[in-house]
Structure 1
């Protein structure tokens, strides 16, 4: 299973999101082609109600612990309740350009 599909299915099973968008942003970084190592995850779930941002991120990181221990190097997390998502107009900011270097592009 590819990593994007794994993240989508795992978060769907555990958080029952009203909205989920998983984007593989590995191509934006200095990694080997096909690395599947950098992801932007937007998840809107009632499960986040009453939680602070850090608790939401810890919950997602815990659910995806196996992926984070292996091929996934970075997750850009955008976690919202349904009301917060509606107030934001269903939008998240674009990810910044990679600023790191790598031995893969030397």
Structure 2
């Protein structure tokens, strides 16, 4: 059974406060490949590996049903820097 973006969103939002969340189905709609971009205060003080492990644990059931999954995780401060860099380019 394919995973929906709504399922992923609900699981992520239930696990942490979310400042920004972008979920992209990169499998042309079949629900087997997803990319998520999560900005949360919950990531403060955690390195990238710890953040990714946290998301992997939150989405353990969903990821097990996917072919591919990628993620980008930032703190709100890092996200503001990211937005500034995007605006400058």
**TM-score (norm. length: structure 2):** 0.86
Task: Provide the aligned length of Structure 1 versus Structure 2.
Answer: 85
State the Cα distance separating 1:46 from its structure 2 match: 0.3
* Bigger Rg over Cα: 1
1:1-106 counterparts in 2 under 5 A?
A: 2-27=3-28, 34-70=29-65, 72-89=66-83
Moved over 4 A (4+): none
- After TM superposition, give the deviation of residue 9 of structure 1 in Å: 0.7
User: What stretches of structure 1 of length at least 5 have no aligned partner?
Assistant: 28-33, 93-106
Cα 1:35–1:90 shift into 2, 3 Å: farther
Per the alignment, do residues 90 and 68 of structure 1 end up closer, same or farther by CA in structure 2, a change over 3 Å counting? farther
Q: Deviations over 1:86-105 (max 9, x none)?
A: 0011788xxxxxxxxxxxxx
Q: TM-score, normalised by structure 1?
A: 0.73
Q: Could you tell me how far apart the structure 2 residues matched to 1:64 and 1:8 are?
A: 10
